[in-house]
Structure 1
Amino acid sequence: VVRRRLLQRYEHQPFISCLAGFYSCRWKRYQRRRTEPGKCCCKTRECVFFPLLVGAFCFSLVFLYLWGEVKNDYNNFDWYNYGKLGFWFLWSLVLLVVAAILFTYVTLLLVLAMCLLAEGQQLYLHWSHKIGTFLVLGFSITALFILSILWGDQWKTVCLSFQITAPYLHIGAITIMVLLSWPVALHAIRADKKVVQVIIVGPYLAILLFLFLIPLGMYSPCIREMGTLGPKPALIGHRGAPMLAPENTEMSFQKTIEHGGDGLETDVTISYDGVPFLMHDSTLRRTTNIKEVYPNDSAQNAALFSWDTLQELNAGTWFLKDKPFSCMGSLSRADQNQAMNQSIYKLSNFLRLADSQNKLVIFDLYRPPEKHPYRNSWINRTLEVILNESGIRPHLVLWLENNMRSFVQSVAPGFQQTMGSKAPVEDLLMDNIVKLNLAYTEMSSEDIRKYAEANITTNFYVVNEPWLFSLAWCSGAHSVTTNAVHTLKNLSQPLFLMTPQQYNIMWILTDLTSVLLISLIFAL
C-alpha cells in the first residue's frame, strides 16, 4: 500500500497537474487533495501566507506603476546617482526591468493559486516560492519607501497620470473582478454556513459596487467636448535636443531647430575671465573630457576655468560613450562624427543662432562661486553679452532670473519677464510678469486658466512623455520644455482624447458586461 502511494501520480487531468506542479514544485510522487465542502482551502500555515502573496502582488504592482509613470524623469534619477557614485549608468532602466520581472513572477504565482482554488484544490506553496515572495514584498516596500524619502515629488506625477489613465485602470479593475468571480462563487457555494458565505461574498460585492460608481468622481481634462481643445503647446528644447546630440552644444540646438522646436532652453555659467558659456553641471566631469586633459582639476567648479582652457575640452565624446537616455535611437555616421567634435558653446553664439532662426530663449543663470571675479557682477556681465555682443532681439528673451529684476527691466524693457514659481495674479502683474516657468508637477488646468485670463502664459518643464504632453495640451498649457522635441512634434492630437459621451458609453458598457458575466458565473 505504501509503495502504491509513493508511486501514485496525478489523475489524468494535465491542467491541474501542471498548476500544482508549478505552484508546489511537486510533479511526480504527490497525491492531489481536493477541498471538501465547508473546509478551508488550505492548511493554517498556507492560510497565513496567502495574504502575504496578495500583499506582494499589490506592492509590486504599485511600484511598477509608479516607476513606469515616472519614466519622464529617468534622466534626473540617473543624474542623481551619477552625483553620488561618480560614474554614469542607466540605473533607471535596470530598476524598471527588475520591477517588471518581480511583478511578473509574483503575478504568475497568484494566478496559479487562483486557478487551483477555482478547481477546488488545496494550496501548498513551495518553500522556494515563499522565499521569492518575501523578496518581492521586501524589495517593493523598500523601494517605495526610499523613493518616497528621496524623490517624493514623483507621487505627484502618479496623481497626474491618473487624470489620463484612470478610465483605463477602471476597465482593468473591473476585468480583474470578473476573473475573481469564479473562485469567489465556487467557495461561497461550497461553504456550509451562511455567515461564511456572507464573509466571502460581502467584501467582493462591496468592492465591485465601489468600482461601478467610481467614474462619478473621475476627472480628466482630456475628456472634453469637441471643439473645446486649445492650440498645441509650443515646444522648447531642453538644453537643445539631448536625445539626439550632446546637451548644450551647437549641434543640440541645431537639432531642435531642424525638428521644428519653437524655443531653446539652456544653462549659463560665467568663466573666470568673464565669458558666459553653456553648462548645466557645477563641474565638467560628466559632459566633457576634463578627466583626460586636466585630471587633477576634474572636481573643480566649471566657473573657475578660463575660456581658453574651456575651449580645449571636447563636449561630445561622452554622449556616444554614456548614451544618457534609454530611448535614444541610433545616430547616423555623419551625426556621430559631428557629435564627437562638439565643444563648449558660448552664450553669445547661442543667442545669435536663436536670433537667426527667430527662436525664443530661456536660461537658468548660475551665480559664480566665492572669490570669482564676477561673483557680484554676474547679471551685469550677462546683460552686456545679450544686449551688446549677441544682437538678439529683446522680445525673444524670456528673462527668468529673479535677482535684480527691476534693474533688468530698466535696461532691457523688451525682455519677456518670466517667473519660476506660482504667485497671486496681482503680484505677477505688478512685476510685469508675462510667463510662468513651472515644474510639470505643479500643472493645474484651473491655475492655467486663471493666469491666462490675466494674459500670463504658462510653460512646464521637463515634459518628455507623450501622455504628459497630452495632459499639458488638454489642460491649456502655452508651452513645454522638453528633451523630446523630435517625438512630441509629431503628435497631431492629445493621446486618450475623448468626448464625455464616448466615455459614458465605455463606462456603461463595461459595467453592464461585467454584471452579466458575473451573474452567469454565480448562476452556474
Structure 2
Amino acid sequence: MPVTRLKLGKLKVVRRQLLQRYEHQPFVSCLAGLYGCQWRRYQRARAQPGECCCSKVECGSFGLLILTFFLSFVFLYFWSEAQNDYNDFDWFNFGNLGFWFPWSLVLLIVAAALFTYIALLLVLAVCLLSEGQRLYLHWSHKSGIVVTLAFSVTATAILSDLWSKEWKTLLLSLQVTAPYLHVAAVSLMAILSWPIALHFFRMNKKVRQVAVLGLFLSVLFSLYLVPLGMYSPCIKEAGTLGPAPTLIGHRGAPMLAPENTVMSFEKAVEAGGEGLETDVTISFDGVPFLMHDSTLKRTTNIAEVFPNRTHLDASMFTWTELQQLNAGDWFLSRDPFGTVSSLSAADRSQAQNQSIPSLVQFLEVAARSGRLVLFDLRRPPLGHPYSLSYINTTLQVVQAHINSSQVLWLPSEDRDQVQAVDPHLQQTSGEKASIQELTDGHITRLNLHYSTMSQQQIRKYQSVNISTNLYVISQPWLYTLAWCAGAQSVTTNSIHILSNINKPLFLMTPEEYSLMWILTDVVSAFLITAIFIFHWWRERGLPFWSGSRQTHENGPYSKFRTELSDVWSISSVTVRPDLRSMPTSPSTPHLPTITEE
C-alpha cells in the first residue's frame, strides 16, 4: 500500500512536469519558427546533455550573427552620433551629385532597421538556447546577416575615408554616453549568463567548458574595468560647473529660416542668441554681401534667372544682379533640417520672399539688437576689381555701421594693419597657438571646431583672458560637453533648442559615478554567480553518495527517464478496487497522449 501511494504521487509529479513542458511548446515553436522556420515540433530537437547546442555550421552562423550585431551596432552608434553634422553631409552630396536628397536620414533609417533585425535574431537565438533547443538558422536569415555585415563594413569604411573627423565626434560622445553604455553592456552580460551557464554545465568536454567560460569571463571583467579608464569633463565636483556657453547663430537660425538672410538673423535674435555668425563676399562692384558658398547654385534660384552662369563665382556678379535672385524658396522646397512643417504660414510666406542681404543689412540687425557679430571673409578670385582691397572695403563698412567692440574680427590677412586701424575690434583666431603668440597678436578669442574640444586647453586660454568659441554645435549632448569643458560660447544651427537647456544633460560628481559603476558591477556579479549556481544545482541534482563521480547518466535526465518508465509500469501494481474505480480527473489527461520530442 505505501509503495502504491508513493508511485501514484510520483505519477502526479511527472504528469505535472510533462504538462508544463507541453503547454510551453507553443512559445518554443514560435521562437524556432521565427529563427529557423521550424514551426512543427518534429522539425526541431533539444540539446541533450553532453551535446553542443548546434552543429559546426550553425555554430559558425551564430558566431557570424554575434559579429554582425556588434559591427552593425558600431556603425549605428557612429552614424547616430554624427547627427550634429548631417547638414554638412547632405550638402556635400549635393555638391557632388547636383541634386538634393536627405541621404543622412535615409542612411540612419537603414542602419537602424538592419540593426533591429540582427538584434531580434540574436534575442531569438538566446531564447532558444535558454530553452535548451538546438539552433538552426534559416538560409534567408543567413543571407540577411551577410547583407547586414557587408553594409555595415562598407558604409563604415567609406564614411571613415570621406569623413574621418566623425570618429573624433564618436570619441567625444563616449564622454557622455559611456556610463550608460557600461550599465547596458553589463546588464546584457547578466542576461546572457543564463543560456551560457545552462550549456556550460551540460558540456562533457573540459576544453569546451574552459573556452566558453574563459571567453565569457574575459569580456565580463573587461567591462567591469572599463570605468577606470573613462574621462569626462561632466564628472566634476559639485559647485565647479561654470556658466552656460552663450549662443551664436550660425548663419542666423538656419532651422527656422533660410540661412544668411535677414529673416534668419532676426529669428536668431528672437531665440536668444548673443551673437550672429555669417560669411561675407565682395560683389563685382564692391558691395560686401552674405554668401557662404563660392557659387550661388545651392541657396538661390540662379538656374532660373541666369541659367548660363550657375557655376560662376558669386563675387563675379554685381549687386544689382544679386538683388534679382530669390534666396528663400530653396529652403521651403528642400527643407534641409526637416523643420519647414513647424513654421507658421506667415513665416513660410516671409521665407519664400527672402533676398541676398548686404553686409550693411546684417550689421544693422546686430546693431539694433546689441549682438556680437562674427564672420568669415572670402577673398575674391584673381581678376576681381577688389581682390587686393577687399579687407579695407569690408572694414570701412563695419566701422560705419556698428560699434567695433561688437565685432569678432576673424580674417587673419593683414591682421596687424587692421588692429592698428581699429584697435577696438575683438581680434579672433581660428587656429590654436601658444599663449605668447596669441597675446602678441592681441587675440582675445579663439574660434575652434568642436572636435578640438579640450577642458585643459580652454582653462589655459581662459587664464590669460582668451575665451573660446566652439563651432558648429547643434546637438544637446555636444552643448552639454562644451558647457562642462568650460567653453565661453558656441556657434549653433539649433539656437532655438539649445537656448532652452538650463542644465547639462549629464553631470555627476566623482563619488556618484564611482557608486554607480561599482554598484552595477557588484549587482551583476551577484546575479551571474547566482545563475551559475542555480544551473549547477539543477543539472547535477542532489549529491550522489555511492562514492562515484556523478555524471549525466545518473543525473536528473536519467532519473527523469527512469520515472517515465515507472509511470508506464505502474499498471502492473496491485491497486485497491475502490481506487481503481475512482473517476479520472479532467485536469490530468492520459500520459500516452503527451510525448517529448
Q: Structure 2: which 5+ runs fail to align? A: 1-20, 535-597
Residue number among 491, 495, 501 corresponding to 2:505 in the alignment: 495
Distance 1:131 1:496 in 2: 40
The reply to whether residue 270 of structure 1 matches residue 282 of structure 2 is yes
Q: Residue 385 of structure 1 corresponds to which residue in structure 2?
A: 397
Q: Which residue of 2 aligns with 1:224?
A: 236
1:509, CA displacement in angstroms? 2.1
Partner of 1:3: none
CA distance in 2, matches of 1:329, 1:456: 41
Aligned match of 1:432? 442
1:43 CA displacement: 1.6
2:427 counterpart (409, 413, 417) = 417
Residues 318-397 of structure 1 mapped to structure 2, 5 A cutoff: 318-326=330-338, 330-388=342-400, 390=401, 392-397=402-407
Could you say which residue in structure 2 is the equivalent of 1:467? 477
Distance 2:41 2:194 in 1: 29
2: CA distance, partners of 1:30 / 1:310 = 77
Counterpart code for 1:463: I
> Residue by residue, what CA displacement relative to the aligned partner does 1:196-217 show, whole Å, maximum 9, x if unpaired?
2221111211221221222122
Greater CA deviation, 23-32 or 448-457?
A: 23-32
- Kept in 1, the 8 Å contact 2:29–2:40? The answer is no
Question: Which of the residues 91, 96, 103 maps onto 2:103?
Answer: 91
Q: TM-score, normalised by structure 2?
A: 0.84
1:281-332, Cα deviation, whole Å (9 max, x unpaired) = 1111111111111111112111111100100111111111110113555100
TM-score by length of 1: 0.96
1:179-328 counterparts in 2 under 5 A? Answer: 179-326=191-338
Distance between the aligned counterparts of 1:44 and 1:350, measured in 2? 69
Amino acid at match of 2:516: M
CA 1:28/1:197 → structure 2, altered by over 3 Å: closer, same or farther? closer
Q: Which moved more, 1:511-520 or 1:437-446?
A: 511-520
1:240-276 deviation per Cα after TM superposition (whole angstroms, max 9, x unaligned): 0000000000000000101110000000011111111
Aligned-residue offset at 1:31? 2.2
Q: Give the partner amino acid of 1:384.
A: Q
For 1:55 and 1:373, the matched residues in 2 are separated by: 61
Per the alignment, residue 552 of structure 2 pairs with: none
**AA aligned opposite 1:236:** I
User: Residue 328 and residue 70 in structure 1: after superposition, are their counterparts in 2 closer, same or farther (change >3 A)?
Assistant: farther
Q: Conserved in 1, the CA contact under 8 Å of 2:65 and 2:118?
A: yes
Match of 2:494 in 1: 484
- Aligned counterparts of 2:225 and 2:39: Cα–Cα separation in 1: 45
Q: 1:168 aligns with which of 174, 180, 189?
A: 180
Q: How far, CA to CA, are the matches of 2:469 and 2:140 in structure 1? A: 52
Matched residues in 1 for 2:38 and 2:307: separation?
60
Structure of higher CA gyration radius: 2
Distance 1:213 1:278 in 2: 52
Change (3 A) 1:188 1:116: same
CA contact (8 A) 2:68 2:148 kept: yes
CA distance in 2, matches of 1:295, 1:30: 71
In the alignment, the residues of structure 1 paired with residue 131 and residue 341 of structure 2 have an alpha-carbon distance, to the nearest angstrom, of: 48
Contact 1:90 1:326 in 2 (8 A): no
Distance in 2 (CA, whole Å) between partners of 1:30 and 1:145 is 44
Give the letter for the 1:423 counterpart.
Answer: A
Q: Secondary structure at the match of 1:162?
A: helix
Instruction: Quote the residue 2:557 is aligned against.
Output: none
**What are the within-5 Å matches in structure 2 for residues 35-184 of structure 1?**
35-184=47-196
Q: Secondary structure at the match of 1:190?
A: coil
Q: Flag as ranges the 4+ runs of structure 1 deviating above 6 A.
A: none
Alignment size in residue pairs = 513
Distance between the aligned counterparts of 2:282 and 2:340, measured in 1?
Answer: 31
Cα deviation for residue 142 of structure 1 reads 0.3
Q: Does structure 2 conserve the Cα–Cα contact (< 8 Å) formed by 1:41 and 1:123?
A: yes
Contact kept in structure 2, 1:93 and 1:326, CA below 8 Å = no
Deviates more, 1:197-206 or 1:301-310: 197-206
Identity of aligned residues (%): 60
User: What residue number does 2:465 align with?
Assistant: 455
Say whether the 8 Å CA contact 1:459–1:479 is kept in structure 2: yes
CA distance in 2, matches of 1:141, 1:511: 32
Letter of the structure 2 residue corresponding to residue 353 of structure 1:
V
Deviation of 1:173 (Å): 0.6
Contact 2:332 2:340 (C-alpha < 8 Å) held by counterparts: no
Moved more, 436-445 or 105-114: 105-114
Give yes or no for contact 1:241–1:247 (8 Å, CA) kept in 2. Answer: yes
* Residue of structure 1 equivalent to 2:11: none
CA distance in 1, matches of 2:100, 2:314: 19
Aligned residue type for 2:481: L
Q: Deviations over 1:443-482 (max 9, x none)?
A: 0001101111111110000000000000000000000000
Deviations 1:16-40 (A, max 9, x none): 1011100112324842211122222
